[in-house]
Chains A and B, each alone.
Chain A
């Protein structure tokens, strides 16, 4: 009896979800579009690498200038326009028109002399200018050292560290962030159904039958998990095939983070529903919550890019831990064994439990009046 009832409630809710165009738009189509936009704007057209175009002027060629020119050409992130030195005037014009990021004027003689760097004032403080100038500084210093016959005492050795096989690219970061965000939003916004059913008298209608309302809620939860899986698959397909994201999946941590997260954000939605008389009120609350978390939980950009005084906020928000959990399961392929993973799951669970408890109290205090 209960199993039959559950099966039919589940089937009915699956049908309702598939037939609701809004669900498809907001849960699948919109996140995919949003991700594509962010990928195009911030993903650097697929390679994700820094590049700067420079012009080089060599007013009076000599041995030092020839050597520096060769070194500049060999730096992969610098592209020398026209592949050969141009006149200073030509170079300045390009800088002015922003055809190049910088003009480098090679030294006019061997021995003591200047290396000139011209940049457009508009970009003086920009990251590209800073990068070009520090690259140039390094080159000049090396040249200075070798000119006096010395070797550097200190040098920086750099290695990037990740437990994954590859480095994490922005594509991977954004893809997993978007997956986390859309699953979370599924829960935050999905519970509007309760408000809708209440408004249309469906909750009351069902309470006039011997139907088990708990079963109906459980069936709804399963449907939402199913939608979450569809979201993950769609976003992952677009991310991997259109933008070259690489995934290293750890099924267990993915599954745990996914189920806990879906439950926690549904609990938040349930809390909103307990306070909302109208669908508009619910949507308002869900929108505020989702907006705040979207930008403060490291979905689009790493949390450490936030100003210092804001750093505490992401540490409190459940979405931070959910997105981290999804990243653990999808790109770092770790999680189950790490304590930070479980810590995140714990903090999320606290959010979920607290939201659920408050909602239950509110519903109880309104008792039957709430379903009128």
Chain B
């Protein structure tokens, strides 16, 4: 049974339709990621789910609980890390956690949370003296303090350096290990690909597509782009192109000086044939690459927009 069901959500601000129609459900223990360009309606959708904004229509269910009837129970079962980290700057790490702990009838011990977010050494530091990554980890810690079933992380790694980003990924994966459900929004495709069980791409207030990252990439296209470049110059490239055209799996080729691009549905077979050809001719191949398809390609294919980090 899904832990969260969102059904035909709509929300407008004046004339602006922020969310047109969004429906999805999240299974227990999964990491569910929402990506989309700025202004796509991600934050509005999250805020409606988090109970901060009433939807114009549609409904939100946490199992059998709804915001209208069970506000307090839902608040006890979810944990939220908002986009602006929202911490008490003049309190220490431990004091922030302990203050938030008293908001709930049952809370995890602060020490346990600090251990999970690796801030035990900084526990007596005032928040304003923490680094960006440490603040973000504390914000996630506050979202965990009530031992929630579902955790919402709204762009937890935006603006962090690669190392700090990796630290946050570790925490997210730890949460999955202990059976928490995570709903994540992110700006980084690499992150979505690495962490998510399922990805939902939102654009202009609607869901464009929703599936596992692998399935999305797979669905995108059957052809792979292969690049070869030759030490023996343009003639070698041109002759190899002719050979490639004989290959049944090759859909298209493109020649540019000493380098050759080709699109094939069976990269292994095509390459096997081509290497046979170049070996016979004695051409030396300088570089070879098969371009990996990523979520970024999926995003561009579905929204028609360039992705910007």
**Chain A: residues with CB nearer than 8 A to chain B?**
1, 4-5, 8-9, 12, 15-16, 19-20, 200-202, 204-211, 368, 371
Contact, CB under 8 Å: A204 / B86: yes
Chain A residues within 8 Å of B72, by CB: 210
Contact, CB under 8 Å: A205 / B90: no
Chain A residues within 8 Å of B302, by CB: none
Bound complex: CA A4 to CA B98 (Å): 12
Contact, CB under 8 Å: B95 / A205: no
Q: Contacts A205-B86, A368-B54 known; list 10 others, CB within 8 Å.
A: A1-B105, A8-B99, A9-B102, A12-B99, A16-B88, A208-B52, A210-B75, A210-B105, A368-B52, A371-B52
Closest 6 CB pairs of A and B: A205-B86, A211-B103, A201-B86, A201-B84, A8-B102, A209-B103
- Measured CB to CB, the closest approach of chain A to B82, in angstroms, equals 6
Q: Which of B82, B99, B102, B142 is close to A201, meaning CB atoms less than 8 Å apart? A: B82
Chain B residues within 8 Å of A371, by CB: 52
Contact, CB under 8 Å: B90 / A15: yes
Contact, CB under 8 Å: A204 / B103: no
Chain A residue with Cβ nearest B53: A368
Contact, CB under 8 Å: B95 / A15: yes
Contact with A along B186-202 (1 / 0, CB 8 A): 00000000000000000
Chain B residues within 8 Å of A209, by CB: 75, 100, 103-104, 146
Chain A residues within 8 Å of B100, by CB: 209
- Measured CB to CB, the closest approach of chain B to A13, in angstroms, equals 9
Contact, CB under 8 Å: B90 / A4: no
Q: Which of A16, A201, A210 is close to B91, meaning CB atoms less than 8 Å apart? A: A16
Contact, CB under 8 Å: B90 / A200: no
Chain A residues within 8 Å of B295, by CB: none
Contact, CB under 8 Å: B95 / A207: no
Chain A residues within 8 Å of B125, by CB: none
B residues 105-143 near A (Cβ < 8 Å) are: 105, 126, 142
- Measured CB to CB, the closest approach of chain B to A12, in angstroms, equals 5
**Chain B: residues with CB nearer than 8 A to chain A?**
50-54, 72, 75-76, 78, 80, 82-88, 90-91, 95, 98-100, 102-105, 126, 142, 146
Chain B residue with Cβ nearest A196: B89
Contact, CB under 8 Å: A205 / B102: no
Bound complex: CA A329 to CA B105 (Å): 44
Chain B CB count within 10 A is highest, among A9, A15, A16, A209, for: A209
Bound complex: CA A17 to CA B142 (Å): 22
Contact, CB under 8 Å: A210 / B103: yes
**Chain B contact residues: over half helix, strand or loop, or mixed?**
loop
Chain A residues within 8 Å of B88, by CB: 12, 16, 202
Contact, CB under 8 Å: A5 / B52: no
- Measured CB to CB, the closest approach of chain B to A183, in angstroms, equals 23
Contact, CB under 8 Å: A205 / B103: no
Bound complex: CA A19 to CA B83 (Å): 26
- Measured CB to CB, the closest approach of chain B to A203, in angstroms, equals 9
Contact, CB under 8 Å: A15 / B91: yes
Chain B residues within 8 Å of A1, by CB: 105
Contact, CB under 8 Å: B84 / A208: no
Contact, CB under 8 Å: A20 / B103: no
Chain B residue with Cβ nearest A8: B102
Contact, CB under 8 Å: A208 / B76: no
- Measured CB to CB, the closest approach of chain B to A89, in angstroms, equals 71
Contact, CB under 8 Å: B82 / A204: yes
Bound complex: CA A42 to CA B85 (Å): 50
Chain B residue with Cβ nearest A19: B90
Contact, CB under 8 Å: A205 / B98: no
Bound complex: CA A211 to CA B91 (Å): 18
- Measured CB to CB, the closest approach of chain B to A301, in angstroms, equals 38
Contact, CB under 8 Å: A8 / B98: yes
Chain B residues within 8 Å of A15, by CB: 90-91, 95
- Measured CB to CB, the closest approach of chain A to B251, in angstroms, equals 50
Bound complex: CA A4 to CA B106 (Å): 13
Chain A residue with Cβ nearest B73: A210
Chain B residues within 8 Å of A4, by CB: 102
Bound complex: CA A9 to CA B88 (Å): 12
Contact, CB under 8 Å: A205 / B53: no
Contact, CB under 8 Å: A12 / B51: no
Chain A residues within 8 Å of B99, by CB: 8-9, 12
Chain A residues within 8 Å of B95, by CB: 12, 15
Q: Which of B75, B85, B102, B126 is close to A208, meaning CB atoms less than 8 Å apart? A: B75
Bound complex: CA A209 to CA B53 (Å): 15
Contact, CB under 8 Å: B76 / A204: no
Given known contacts A210-B76, A211-B103, is B90 in contact with A16 (CB within 8 Å)?
yes
Given known contacts A202-B88, A207-B52, is B82 in contact with A5 (CB within 8 Å)?
no
- Measured CB to CB, the closest approach of chain A to B165, in angstroms, equals 21
Bound complex: CA A15 to CA B99 (Å): 12
Chain A residues within 8 Å of B52, by CB: 204, 207-208, 368, 371
Chain B residue with Cβ nearest A371: B52
Chain A residues within 8 Å of B53, by CB: 368
Bound complex: CA A200 to CA B86 (Å): 6
Bound complex: CA A211 to CA B101 (Å): 10
Chain A residue with Cβ nearest B101: A8
Contact, CB under 8 Å: B86 / A202: yes
